[in-house]
Chain A
Amino acid sequence: ETMPFFNQESLQQRLQALIDGARESWAYAIFWQSSVVDFASQTVLGWGDGYYKGEEDKNKRRGSSSSAANFVAEQEHRKKVLRELNSLISGVQASAGNGTDDAVDEEVTDTEWFFLISMTQSFVNGNGLPGLAMYSSSPIWVTGTEKLAASQCERARQAQGFGLQTIVCIPSANGVVELGSTELIFQSSDLMNKVKYLFNFNIDMGSVTG
């Protein structure tokens, strides 16, 4: 059962407060909520809530490795998925030219897509960046394309593939707060303090993993 402190409305406000007022340009914030899977006695981090802000200049990050043909094909795939999701949420049958699909015809950026596919992911305690942060009870801060690409965590490599340059996972009371950016953002105590304040958790500042 979700505690009142972590109800979804409250979570959304906290995630929004975390990045809307920040000096740095974060593209998104996600709260991975921990729960125990009874049959396996394992802690699993699943989607709690997320706030998507977007990048400052989306044109800057376009199609890092793909050709024009691949880009078009990938966009078609993303738009198709978005159309189906729109249909699922609104209950209106998806079809090209439908007024409700206007937003789908706009390019689906890499960060938007990364945020969307994040909703399908979960992490067993100790696995992936969020799981590792939870397991070690210490924040993980990865800055730079090379470091993300060289990470042992699939999520970090996936983030790099979608143009992110910074990803941070900070453990909190019953989950992990993750932030991502297409900019290079270096470790700051400001963010840690903000998470500590908003998500009510004592972080050992000396134990941040680079």
Chain B
Amino acid sequence: ADLPIARRNSLTRFLEKRKDRVTSIAPYQI
């Protein structure tokens, strides 16, 4: 909760991008 703002923003962006990537490739992994 007390992450510095720059790290928090970067982390949020990184996690969202990773989520998008995983979601987009998921149907092909069946």
Contacts and interface: CB of A to CB of B under 8 A. Distances in A.
A52 B22 contact: no
15 contacts: A8-B6, A8-B9, A12-B13, A47-B7, A50-B10, A50-B14, A85-B15, A88-B3, A102-B22, A102-B23, A103-B15, A103-B18, A112-B18, A116-B11, A119-B7
B11 to A, nearest CB: 6
A88 B1 contact: yes
State the main secondary structure of chain A at its contact with B. Answer: helix
Q: Give the contact-size bracket for chain A.
A: 20 to 34
B22 A85 contact: no
B24 to A, nearest CB: 11
A206 B5 CA distance: 37
Contacts of B1: 88
Contact of A89 (B6, B12, B21): B12
